[in-house]
Every structure is written in C-alpha cells, then in structure tokens.
Amino acid sequence: MIASKIRRTKTGCLTCRRRRKKCDERKTTCLACQRNSLACTWSSERHMSTPDASGGFPEGDQVSRQTEPEPESSMPCPSPFTISLPLSCNIQIHKDTVQLQIPNFGGILTEPLSRTLLQHYIHETAQCLTTRRDPINPFVTEILPIAQDNRGLMHAVLAFSGQHLVIRTNKQMSPVIWTHYSTAISEIRSGVERYIQGDRSGVTALLATTLMLCLTENTNPNENHMAQHLAGARLLLNELLSLPSSRADSDTVGFLAELYLYTASAYRISSNPTWVDLLNDEDSKLYTTNVLAHRRAGFLLGSHQDLFPLIHSVASLASERELDQKALGTCSPQCLSRFHSLRQCILKWSVPAGVTNEQDVLCGELYRQALLVHLETAFRRHDHVLYRRLHLRPFVHRCIDAAMQALRLLPADGPIATITVWPLVILGISARDTQHQEAIQRHLEALFERIKMTSVASSLSLIKNIWESTSEAYVDAWDLEQIMSEKGRVFPLT
C-alpha cells in the first residue's frame, strides 16, 4: 500500500511546524508526534511567554512559534533558531526560518549546571562533532527539537555535554552529570521495554538517545557499553527505515543514519563477532542511500560517504580470510577474488564530481590510503614472512608516505579534521618512519587541544606505545584489538 502524501501546511500542529515536518493534522495527536513520542500541541493551546525578571521563562510555558515559514521556493535566508535558557543566556542558532522559545524542559534544567551544560552543548560540544563550519548544525537543529519533548534524549545530551565539559576544564565529574547519565539510561530502558511490547511510536527519539549515549561512552571509553548501544541502535534504525512514514522525516532519519554509519564504521576494526554484527553489506547500502537523501548530508562523513562502507568490507573480508586459514590452511579462490576486487575499488576511488573543498579532498585521500593499508595488512597477515618483508612493508610505506603528503596540507583546526582519528590510527600502527610518526603525533595532539575528545588522546597514547615497542606483532593493523586489550584501552576510533 502506498502511503498518501501528507501536505505541508501552516495549520498543522505546533510541534510539526516547529520541526518543519509534514503534519496530517489529526487531533489530538498527529501521526508524526505519535510516531516520535512527542508532545502534540496546537495553536489554540498556545500562549505567548513573557520572560521573568531573571530572563527565563515560567515553568510550564508552551513552546512559541513566532514566525511562520514562507514557502520553500520563496525562502530568502535562514532566520534565528532561538533557545532562551532560564536565568541566564539567550542562544541563537540558525535553522530555516524557525524560532523556538524553550522553557526549562519540564524541570530538567532547574539546576544551574544543567543550563550550563545545554549552553556548552550548543556552543562547544556540537561544534566539535561535524565536518563543517555551518550555522545549521544537525546536532542542534535535529537533536534538540526532539529532546525538548523527550526526557531521555535531553538527559543524554546533557550527560554527553557534561563529559566533554569535564575534559575541557580538567575538573572532577559533578553528581549532576552522573544524574543526567543514569536518568538517560533509565529512560532508554523504559523505552526499550515499550518497544519490545510493540510500541513503535517513539522509535526516532529512542534511536537518537541511543546514539547520543554512544557518543557519551566515547568520551569516557567503555567498549562493552558502546557495543551494546550500537547493537541496539542498529535494530532501531532498521525499524525506523522500514516505516513508510520515515519519508516525512527524511532529514532527521538521514542524519541519524549518517551518525550510525560513521560510528559503527569507525568502531569496526577486528573480526570480533560482537563487532561484526554492527554492520553488513545490505545495511551499509541502505544507510548510505538514506544518508545521501537528506538535505545536508556530509556533516559526519564529509564528501566521501561511499568510503565508509568499505571499512566494513575490509573487516568482513579479513574475517573470511581467517575462516579460510582455519579450515583450509590457505586462502580460497573466492576470497582471493574478493580481495582483488576490493583493492581495485579502493585504488580507483576519487572524490565525487563537483567537490571543490580542498580539505574534503585531502581527507578523502587520507581515508583511501588508510583503507589500502588496512586491507593489505589484514589480508596478508598469514603470508610467508619473506613476502611480507619484501613486498608488503614497501607497499605500506608508500601508502603512508602518500597519506602524510595529504596530512601536511590538512590543518588540525579545520572542521574535517574531526574525522581523521580512524585513518591516522590505522596508518600510525604500521608507521616505522620517524617523520611519519612525528607528523601523525603533531596532528593528533593539535586535534585533541581543539576538540578535547578522549578518544583522540587515547588513540595517540596507543600508537605511541606501539612505536616504542620492538615487537614484530605490532606490524599489522589487524592486531589492533589485541593491542588495545593488552594496554587496557579498548575504544572506538571516532
């Protein structure tokens, strides 16, 4: 059955108009709000909010839509997306003619620190996550409109911001931050219980909360928890993409698909069965299709979205090679053919036509060379030691040298540098040239100083330990999982 097209109007519910989503105008709760577990409010219920003496808004004020969007064809330029925080600041983020006045989120922002965390998230944390310097940041413009009607997501946002703020200020974790984190976990458990019982109305908010918890775990690395969150996110994303109504929320769904694809790809290194389940070829194609469909694709994957599924392909091939080695003592013809096909795919890759941003081009080359190193070292790990010494090592050195030429032109303070951790770890593990090592170290140190994400510092510490070791076991990038376990640092390379 083909879903009837829902017409975007100016008379839909305030929640859909605020989020710029199509509304079927069903009262008292429209389909979009029911599906996303959002509070559905209508113009007859709205009253204008007046700031109190402290500059905030009284508890219980309705969200106020101050301007109506013009038809898309006549839209001149974005107008402010305004978040008024109680007692303190007024934050403006541009979002397509939408203005929001947000009170204290049903009591969540009553603590002064919680209001500080929201401000920090908007101004600092969200800006460290994307590959673009753009006033329309989906970590704000897609996440916060959902979070203002979903307690679990708002608590997850504040917990993530709190973890990041602790790293930036070098202070101890506040009990308030732990409260936000534990409450987010509790809310997501309740959401999962409703999901298991057949309630699909809150899938979008539940997925967004799960992915936000993945990011939170990444700032305080806990590999087991992150694996669980990613596994749950995969189920929720597949469920969301199967709903015909997801077409009405293409921007939100596309952004969440992009966030999952990036996180799961950068997380996927070894043949560990837990990691293998996070992506498969069919999923990768489905997610990539939805990523490319949303209007502002590339906030996480840059202009080389089609390279990220190849990370999974390399991991999958290496798993197949391991099985062949155990069963046959050698590589099967099918596995060898797949290796050559994948190698040619990586060698021939180039940035999409029309991409002129030099930093996008350089980052794409960094990923391409890292993928070649990852593929060769993973596939050749059972080859004769003489072949590895005479052929593999020179090839890896040439790839790293080409990558370093790109890295020298790629500033660590550029927005695209946010996603350079994965390729630099893959290249760094195999780097034996001192100049290569120094270039990688300088870039990661500068990147950490800019974004203050724990995974950057942990990654640098890991590869420096490998450089200082004389063990031949550290030559192969495929040994990364074992190396991390030995060092007591198991974390995703995001």
pLDDT at 53 over 90: no
Residue 336's pLDDT is 94
**Average of per-residue pLDDT values in the chain:** 77
Quick: pLDDT tens for 111-120: 788 889 999 9
The distance of Cα 311 from the centroid of its chain, to the nearest Å, equals: 15
Distance CA 262, CA 292 (A): 13
273-276, long-range: CB < 8 A, 24+ apart: 274/227, 274/231, 275/227, 275/315, 276/315, 276/316, 276/319
- Residue in the block written with tokens 């996008």: 360
Highest mean pLDDT among 4-13, 28-37, 275-284, 366-375: 366-375
Q: Which residues contact 458 (CB under 8 A, 6 or more apart)?
A: 221, 489, 491
Q: At what angle do helices 175-196 and 203-219 cross, to 10 degrees?
A: 140
Q: What are the structure tokens assigned to 310, written together? A: 């190849």
Range with the poorest average pLDDT among 22-31, 97-106, 287-296, 336-345: 97-106
366: how many CB neighbours lie within 10 A of its CB? 28
pLDDT at 100 over 70: no
Percent of the chain with pLDDT over 70: 70
pLDDT at 487 over 80: no
Between 275 and 13, name the one with better pLDDT: 13
Distance CA 455, CA 229 (A): 17
Highest mean pLDDT among 9-23, 40-54, 160-174, 233-247: 160-174
- Residue in the block written with tokens 């509070």: 39
Average pLDDT over residues 452-476: 77
CB 241 within 8 A of CB 255: no
Average pLDDT over residues 295-305: 80
pTM (global) more than 0.85: no
Average pLDDT over residues 447-468: 88
Distance CA 324, CA 293 (A): 38
Q: What are the structure tokens assigned to 459, written together? A: 């990654």
- Residue in the block written with tokens 């997925």: 207
Distance CA 291, CA 285 (A): 10
CB 98 within 8 A of CB 81: yes
Question: Which run of H or of E encompasses 83?
Answer: strand 80-84
What does the chain come to in residues? 494
Distance CA 376, CA 398 (A): 12
| Residue 406 amino acid letter | A
Of the pLDDT bands very low, low, confident and very high (cuts 50, 70, 90), residue 334 is: very high
Q: How far apart are the first and last CA of the chain?
A: 40
| Residue 92 amino acid letter | Q
Average pLDDT over residues 47-61: 32
Between 375 and 104, name the one with better pLDDT: 375
Average pLDDT over residues 363-384: 90
Of the pLDDT bands very low, low, confident and very high (cuts 50, 70, 90), residue 259 is: very high
